[in-house]
């Protein structure tokens, strides 16, 4: 049984936190939802209250709104990137991995991570059960203009707690480098499924890792005519860009 | 000197708080500030420590007016209930923060204040408007037509040339706690300029100059005008989602089925 996992973290120091809050509202207010189990985690009491006020049956994952996972205490760093993430190292997205890890600890067997702006396609006719027949990780490859092609972090399917734990460890190791969760996950997938070889994106598709029926992003690396179950909605408009402040 | 006033209040229990925070981010991200160009003061007021830190973090210089993010609320006891946009959680008087921020500007020595919502943007082509405000009525705004409640002053941009007029609005808000700022302002204008008549047409407001099309343009102006306004309302962020039913805790429990935690 697939469990959908979502989480809310951040505070007033994180630039895209208001956007996340609005995406939460839009997501919960949306009428069409897949009839699946959900696990919703809130980091910090305020985020938990917010989720509950919106109507979600959320679970407190951590008392802190931004968890310092490897205790390097970077919250006082005055530099910030255009989205505020460098305050905490780019690995602020590690909360996502932590929430997935927590879901497995709570008994989930298969999990589907969804960002708050990922929307269920209500006309989708298939079921999520078919994910069970594919590989342990499934996502959708997205090609960025400047960055390398990576698995879009908005929608991931995992059937292995071990793989999630490895991803978590990798995120901790790479915390000080400019690696996003998408980059780390893509590296891990290449290592696990292609022995570290840089496989073509068609091979990812062929192996079922790049699953066009699962999720549709704006810039798919390998196009497909398949009807996806989830797509990335516009949600709230983008967070404004900031000039880095030294 | 005229002071442009903006304020941020609210907390996680207010539905449009994230929306306002994002509007504030967009405002802070913009390089051109009206105050610098128009030669007037700008005052940004923060209610609550968290809102203060938020504004500071994004490069603004707010004044902290109160440590509480929501103050002076007669329905505070009922914060658990909320309307589709969340404002009923605090009574409609949540908008009183706006008046309090303007009053603070007068206390700081302003001769006149212009209230601006975070999504009200200055038109850079208009640079010589503020001088004329002082020669006109002590209250100016823009009448907006609503389908259900009739014409009301839009709450996005308001000019007060006298602290006494503003205090009259604050007193009115205290006596009518369940009216929003737009209703309060409209009632105030009717009291001040039309002897309390409630059937005043938008044209009459325009005629005596309190509906000022050069000050501000809303989405649905009651009386059209070709004037170029000083400030306009921009759709910076998409609208807040409308919840199908009023959110109350007992209903939330029902709503949360289907997004509940893992059942064993």
Predicted pLDDT of residue B200: 86
Question: Which residues in chain B touch residue A17, judged by CB atoms under 8 angstroms apart?
Answer: 21
Distance CA A62, CA A136 (A): 27
Q: Which residues is A210 bridged to in the sheet?
A: A139
The arithmetic mean of pLDDT across residues A149-168, rounded, is 93
Give B235→chain A minimum CA distance, Å: 10
Residue ranges of A 53-72 with Cβ closer than 8 A to chain B: 53-59
What's the pLDDT score for residue A175? 57
Q: How far apart are the first and last CA of chain B?
A: 66
pLDDT digits (tens, 9 = 90+) for A204-246: 999 999 999 898 887 888 888 888 888 887 666 666 655 544 3
Site from A55, A56, A111 to mutate, B interface, most B CB atoms within 10 angstroms: A55
Q: Is A71 helix (H, G, I), strand (E, B) or coil?
A: coil
CA distance A206 to chain B (A): 33
pLDDT-derived band at A164 (thresholds 50, 70, 90) equals very high
Residue B240 is predicted with a pLDDT of 55
Q: Provide the 3-class DSSP secondary structure of residue B99.
A: helix
Q: Please report the pLDDT score of residue A225 as a whole number.
A: 82
Q: How far is A28 from chain B (nearest CA, A)?
A: 9
pLDDT at A234: 66
Residue A176: is its pLDDT beyond 60? no
Q: Which residue has the higher pLDDT, B229 or A46?
A: A46
pLDDT attached to residue B50: 95
The predicted structure's pLDDT at residue A244: 44
- Specify the pLDDT at position B62: 94
- In a mutational test of the B interface, the residue from A27, A29, A65 whose CB has the highest number of chain B CBs within 10 Å is A29
Q: What angle do CA A192, A198, A201 make, to 5 degrees?
A: 95
What pLDDT band is residue A180 in, cutting at 50, 70 and 90?
A: confident
* Phi then psi dihedrals of residue B116, to 5 deg: -130, 125
Q: B264: pLDDT confidence band, cut at 50, 70 and 90? A: very low
Q: In the prediction, which pLDDT does B245 show?
A: 43
Tokens of A159: 């059937």
Question: Is 50 exceeded by the pLDDT of residue A7?
Answer: yes
Tell me the percentage of chain B whose pLDDT exceeds 70.
79
A37 touches B: beta carbon within 8 Å: yes
Chain A residue at shortest CA distance from B84: A29
Per CB-CB distance under 8 Å, the chain B contacts of A107 are 262, 264
Is A195 a residue whose pLDDT tops 80? yes
Q: Give SS3 for A5.
A: strand
Segment A68-95, tens digit of pLDDT = 776 665 555 444 555 544 455 556 788 9
In this structure, how many other beta carbons lie within 10 angstroms of the beta carbon of residue B198?
10
**Residue B186 contacts A, CB cutoff 8 Å:** no
Q: What is the ipTM of this complex?
A: 0.86
- DSSP at A210: B
Highest mean pLDDT among A4-13, A233-242, B252-261: A4-13
* pLDDT cut 70: percent of chain A above it: 80
Which residue is closest to A53 within chain B, CA to CA?
B13
Whether residue B262 and residue A108 make contact (CB cut-off 8 A), yes or no, is yes
* pLDDT of residue B99 exceeding 60: yes
Give the lowest-confidence range in B91-95, B123-127, B237-241: B237-241
Residue B83 has pLDDT above 60, yes or no: no
Q: Which of A9-23, A67-81, B89-103, B220-234 has the lowest mean pLDDT?
A: A67-81
Q: By the 8 A CB rule, do B29 and A240 touch? A: yes
Higher pLDDT, A55 or B138: B138
Q: Check if A108 contacts B (Cβ < 8 Å).
A: yes
- Residue B224's pLDDT band (cuts 50, 70, 90): confident
Q: Look at the block and give the residue holding tokens 């006298």.
A: B162
- pLDDT category at B81 given cuts 50, 70, 90 is very low
DSSP B104: H
| CB-CB under 8 Å, A39 with B17 | no
Q: What is the pLDDT of residues B163-203, one digit of tens each?
A: 999 999 999 888 887 778 888 899 999 999 999 888 888 89
> Out of A192-196, A208-212, B31-35, which region has the weakest mean confidence (pLDDT)?
B31-35
> Taking a C-beta distance cutoff of 8 angstroms, is the pair A237, A166 a contact?
no
Q: Which is more confidently placed, A143 or A108?
A: A108
What are the distances in angstroms from CA B124 to CA A199, B32, B156, B188? 53, 8, 18, 31
């Amino acid at each position: 049984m697939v469990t959908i996992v979502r989480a809310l973290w951040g505070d007033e120091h994180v630039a895209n936190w208001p956007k996340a809050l609005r995406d939460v509202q839009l997501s919960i207010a949306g009428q069409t939802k897949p009839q699946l189990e959900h696990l919703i985690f809130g980091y910090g009491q305020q985020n938990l209250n917010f989720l509950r006020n919106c109507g979600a049956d959320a679970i407190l994952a951590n008392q802190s709104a931004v968890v310092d996972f490897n205790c390097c205490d970077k919250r006082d760093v005055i530099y910030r990137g255009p989205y505020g993430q460098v305050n905490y190292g780019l690995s602020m997205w590690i909360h996502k991995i932590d929430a997935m890890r927590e879901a497995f600890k709570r008994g989930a067997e298969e999990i589907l991570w969804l960002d708050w702006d990922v929307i269920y396609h209500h006309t989708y006719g298939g079921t999520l059960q078919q994910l069970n027949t594919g590989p342990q990780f499934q996502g959708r490859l997205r090609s960025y203009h400047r960055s390398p092609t990576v698995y879009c972090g908005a929608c991931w399917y995992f059937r292995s707690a071990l793989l999630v734990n490895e991803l978590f460890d990798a995120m901790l190791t790479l915390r000080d480098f400019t690696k996003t969760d998408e980059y780390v996950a893509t590296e891990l997938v290449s290592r696990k499924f292609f022995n570290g070889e840089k496989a073509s994106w068609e091979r990812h598709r062929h192996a079922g890792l790049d699953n066009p029926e699962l999720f549709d992003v704006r810039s798919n690396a390998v196009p497909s005519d398949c009807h996806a179950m989830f797509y990335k909605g516009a949600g709230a408009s983008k967070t404004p860009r900031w000039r880095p402040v030294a | 000197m005229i002071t442009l006033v903006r304020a941020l209040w609210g907390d996680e229990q207010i539905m449009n708080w994230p929306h306002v925070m994002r509007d504030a981010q967009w405002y802070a991200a913009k390089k051109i500030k009206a105050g610098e160009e128009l030669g007037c003061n700008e005052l940004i007021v923060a209610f609550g420590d968290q809102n203060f830190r938020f504004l500071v973090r994004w490069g603004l210089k707010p004044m902290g007016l109160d440590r509480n993010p929501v103050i002076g609320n007669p329905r505070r006891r009922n914060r658990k209930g909320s309307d589709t946009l969340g404002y009923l959680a605090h009574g409609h008087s949540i908008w009183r923060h706006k008046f309090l921020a303007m009053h603070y500007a007068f206390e700081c020595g302003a001769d006149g204040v212009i209230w601006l919502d975070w999504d009200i943007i200055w038109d850079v082509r208009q640079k010589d408007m503020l001088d004329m405000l002082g020669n006109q009525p002590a209250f100016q705004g823009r009448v907006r037509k609503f389908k259900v409640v009739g014409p009301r002053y839009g709450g996005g941009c308001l000019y007060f040339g006298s602290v006494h007029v503003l205090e009259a609005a604050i007193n009115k808000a205290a006596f009518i706690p369940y009216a929003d700022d737009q209703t309060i302002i409209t009632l105030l204008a009717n009291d001040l300029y039309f002897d309390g008549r409630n059937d005043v047409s938008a044209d009459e407001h325009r005629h005596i100059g309190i509906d000022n099309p050069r000050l501000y343009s809303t989405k649905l102006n009651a009386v059209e005008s070709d004037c170029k306004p000083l400030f306009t309302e921009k759709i910076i962020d998409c609208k807040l989602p409308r919840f199908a039913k009023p959110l109350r805790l007992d209903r939330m429990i029902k709503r949360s089925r289907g997004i509940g935690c893992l059942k064993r």
